[in-house]
Amino acid sequence: MTEYTVTWTIQVEADSHTQAAEKALEIQRDLDSIANVFTVVANDDVRTVDLTIECEEILLCLDCLLFVANGDESEDSDWSEDALEANWPSMEWDISPGDSEKDEEFSRSACEGCGSPLGGSRHHAIAMKRV
């Protein structure tokens, strides 16, 4: 197995070394951060690696939300994961439940997961493209 040195560089203003490290860590952990580019060195091989993740906010019907959250289909519905898979291929995208404050109690918009045109509640989710 090869040993790698991985670095991420940022300039911050702070009152102490600890505060500077805390600010850098906060920036790196921020979901909207662009702190996703690293310099990776192995032996004499130096590479820049970009781990930027493409994210999209989507609104899902209840059936899609239950599948995303629990991994199973509702027994009371004719819903199938095939439509969700067609729009958001699991080999490329990970979908997670999002912010319930952004849910819509009732919407006539099509589900952005499976495409169902039926009106109903829509639940916020985050689709993240794998790199």
Model pTM?
0.62
Let me know whether 66 and 121 are in one domain: yes
Beta bridge partners, 94, equal 128
Name the H helices within 53-93: 62-70, 81-87
What six digits make up the tokens of 91? 């080999």
On whether both 30 and 68 belong to a single domain, the answer is no
Of 32, 50, 68, which marks where a domain is finished?
Answer: 50
Residue 119 structural domain: 54-129
58 and 22 belong to one structural domain: no
CA–centroid distance for 122 within its chain: 18
Overall domain count for the chain: 2
Tens of each residue's pLDDT in the chain, 131 residues:
999 999 998 889 999 999 999 999 998 888 777 788 899 999 999 999 888 778 899 999 999 998 888 887 666 667 778 888 888 888 788 899 999 999 999 999 999 999 999 999 999 999 988 66
